[in-house]
């Protein structure tokens, strides 16, 4: 795989990363640690050099998994992790609000370094914007951590446009992580033009629409009791039924290209900008191989025009998040 540059600050990674959240959190029971260790090793063997985690995934257990599985590979890979949530004191999943106070950022950095078994965090994202802490203070704290050799690059996850500008003026932002897919194209309006201007990379999470664009989910699908998708308006049965129009479009294109729908969803993203690095997540070795193969699928300009025209006529039903989480998202 030909590597891509995230931003202009020297972070070069594989064109696809691996989102690791689902291995420990949010999509049903945590997966077997030994099987996930094997999966992570397989990803490295197949050329993946960019791995995404966060302290809140578990909490803590996802970082611990990556520390156990990947510590011997760190000279050839990059790991992104995140700060910004006030985690529950009893260690149960979830959080009790936001916390990007400078002293808390430092506490998270030190703890993440230990769990990941690394000397420096390759990419340190603010997980969600904290309205109670000026973003200039956040960027300044990460800038100090970079000077101290504990962090290499600064990122923001789902920030607003003005937040990016203010942060970037203090410390160049290497990458923005945002949901972006054929199911959610909102970033095209304001975010991507700004990233073009400032030369910041984009790391789309949920690039396969939390699995929906794979064609493996429909209105009859039943999720595990503790699957995060049970809480999302977009995954209500009525919304899934209505949104199948998009899946059917992708399936038709996939048939023409002798590919899977998930591969088309990823290939489309890779064609949007050369600084885009999607991070599809999986716990399945076969899906990992399938996703990686998307880098070899050629969508020509005619294909892209057909997709753009068809998608523009489809309205996606259902919000991305419930109201309790929607207020944390700036775009």
pLDDT tens, 265-275?
999 999 999 99
Give, in words, the CATH class of 12-326. alpha beta
Name the strand (E) or helix (H) holding 51: strand 50-52
Mean pLDDT over 179-183 rounds to 97
List 205's β-bridge partners, or say none: 179
Q: Is the pLDDT of residue 22 over 80?
A: yes
What is residue 330's predicted lDDT score, i.e. its pLDDT? 58
User: What pLDDT sits at residue 91?
Assistant: 86
**Per-residue model confidence as pLDDT tens digits over 27-80:** 999 999 999 999 999 999 999 999 999 999 999 999 999 999 999 999 999 999
b/e map 105-130, b = 16+ CB within 10 Å: bbebbeebbebbbbebbbbbbbbbbb
**Residue of 53, 116, 43 lying closest to 81 (CA atoms):** 53
Q: Taking all residues of the chain, what is their mean pLDDT, rounded to a whole number? A: 96
Residue among 210, 173, 217, 180 at smallest CA distance from 195: 173
| Integer Cα distance of 321 and 35 in angstroms | 30
pLDDT given for residue 323 in this prediction: 84
The C-alpha atoms of residue 227 and residue 26 are separated, in whole angstroms, by 6
Please give the average per-residue pLDDT across 234-250, as a whole number: 96
Stronger pLDDT, 89 or 6, i.e. the higher one: 6
What is the percent of the chain where pLDDT is above 90?
A: 94
Tokens of 2: 């030909």
Query: pLDDT category, 324, cuts 50, 70, 90?
Result: confident
What number of other Cβ atoms are within 10 A of residue 71's Cβ? 12
Whole-number pLDDT of residue 302: 93
Question: Catalytic site residue 57?
Answer: yes
Place 19 in a pLDDT band, splitting at 50, 70 and 90: very high
**pLDDT range class, residue 331, cuts 50, 70, 90:** very low
327: pLDDT strictly greater than 80: no
Averaged pLDDT, 310-324: 92
| Given the residues 25, 57, 125, 180, the one annotated as active site | 57
Report the pLDDT value the prediction gives residue 234, as an integer from 0 to 100.
Answer: 96
Query: Taking the model in full, what pTM does it have?
Result: 0.97
Structure tokens at 246: 């998009």
Tens-place pLDDT, residues 146-174: 999 999 999 999 999 999 999 999 999 99
User: What percentage of the chain reaches a pLDDT higher than 70?
Assistant: 99
Rounded Cα distance between 311 and 307, Å, is 6
Q: Domain-by-domain residue ranges, the chain?
A: 12-326
Q: Which ranges of 148-300 does DSSP label H, i.e. alpha helix?
A: 161-170, 191-198, 237-257, 261-272, 285-293
């Amino acid at each position: 795989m030909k590597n891509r540059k995230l931003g202009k600050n020297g972070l070069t990674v594989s064109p696809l990363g691996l989102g690791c959240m689902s291995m420990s959190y949010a999509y049903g029971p945590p997966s077997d640690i030994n099987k996930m260790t094997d999966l992570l090793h397989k990803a490295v063997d197949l050329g993946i050099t960019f791995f995404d985690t966060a302290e809140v995934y578990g909490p803590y257990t996802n970082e611990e998994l990556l520390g156990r599985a990947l510590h011997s590979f760190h000279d050839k890979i990059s790991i992104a992790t995140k700060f910004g949530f006030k985690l529950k004191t009893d260690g149960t999943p979830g959080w009790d609000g936001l916390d990007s106070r400078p002293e808390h950022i430092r506490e998270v950095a030190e703890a993440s370094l230990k769990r990941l078994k690394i000397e420096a965090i390759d990419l340190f994202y603010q997980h969600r914007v904290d309205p109670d802490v000026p973003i200039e203070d956040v960027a300044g704290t990460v800038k100090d951590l970079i000077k101290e050799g504990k962090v290499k690059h600064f990122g923001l996850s789902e920030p607003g446009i003005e937040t990016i500008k203010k942060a970037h003026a203090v410390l160049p932002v290497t990458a923005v992580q945002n949901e972006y897919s054929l199911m959610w194209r909102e970033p095209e309006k304001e975010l991507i033009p700004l990233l073009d201007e400032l030369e910041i990379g984009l790391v789309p999470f949920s690039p396969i629409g939390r699995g929906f664009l794979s064609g493996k989910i429909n209105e009859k699908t039943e999720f595990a009791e503790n699957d995060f998708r049970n809480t999302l308006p977009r995954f209500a049965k009525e919304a899934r039924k209505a949104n199948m129009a998009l899946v059917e479009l992708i399936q038709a294109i996939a048939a023409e290209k002798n590919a899977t729908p998930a591969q088309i969803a990823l290939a489309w993203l890779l064609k949007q900008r050369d600084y885009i690095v999607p991070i599809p997540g999986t716990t399945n070795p076969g899906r990992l191989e399938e996703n990686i193969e998307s880098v070899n699928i050629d969508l020509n300009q005619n294909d892209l025009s057909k997709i753009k025209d068809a998608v523009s006529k489809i309205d996606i039903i259902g919000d991305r998040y419930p109201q309790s989480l929607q207020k944390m998202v700036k775009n």
